[in-house]
Amino acid sequence: MFYETKDHHGLPHSPFKSLIVPRPIGWISSLSADGVRNLAPFSFFNGLTDSPPMVMFACNEPSGDADRKDSPSNIEATGEFVVNMATEALTNQMNASSATVPNDVDEFELAGLTAEPSQLVKAPRVAESPAHMECTFLKRVDLPSSNPAQRNEMIIGQVIGIHIRDEVLVDGLVDVTKFRPLARLGYMQYTVVEKVFTLDRPG
């Protein structure tokens, strides 16, 4: 089949996100200006560069500033956030933290997770997660939207500190099969990284 994205695809659901797979989940923790903890997963997430290390996540939300999601709002207000690794063992907690709730609700408590202090930023970490990236806010990029009622934006942060549990390091390398990170597919589907192979680049 072929369809122009300006037209309807004719399928039960859009196939777009099912073709960009698997997508890592950015499990973003932040603090509001008033000190309320927030935790939310974003599947439009990835690393950007490694020198310096930078990450991004993107979200869509209602177009009015009053309806802006807590994560980007908190990050712009405080200038910092943490990316927590979402794993197979934390599937239910990750899903619970995705609920749409009032901005005074603490998703750590909602999901039954432990908030652990960070080293360089005030935003807390998910203690149950095996890896965390402490980040400072670099910039917001407002993206085009084809829906007048929806805004799209990207948040970019610089990673200034990384925590990794010793048990997921093997001979000095991160072994993803030890903690089985979650990844997002299309629709309401997820997958787990459990198979790894090595492929050297041509000389």
Q: What is the pLDDT of residues 26-37, one digit of tens each?
A: 999 999 999 999
Within 10 angstroms of residue 188's Cβ, the number of other Cβ atoms is 8
Q: What is the pLDDT of residue 108?
A: 97
Q: What is the pLDDT of residue 154?
A: 97
pLDDT beneath 70, residues of the chain? 64-66
Q: What is the pLDDT of residue 84?
A: 98
pTM: 0.93
As to burial, measured by CB atoms within 10 angstroms (0-12 exposed, 13-18 middle, 19+ buried), residue 97 is buried
Q: What is the CA radius of gyration of the chain?
A: 18
Secondary structure class of 8 (helix, strand, coil): coil
Which helix (H) or strand (E) covers residue 94, if one does? Answer: helix 91-96
Q: What phi-psi label fits residue 171: left (phi over 0), alpha (psi between -120 and 50 degrees) or beta?
A: left
Q: What is the pLDDT of residue 62?
A: 78
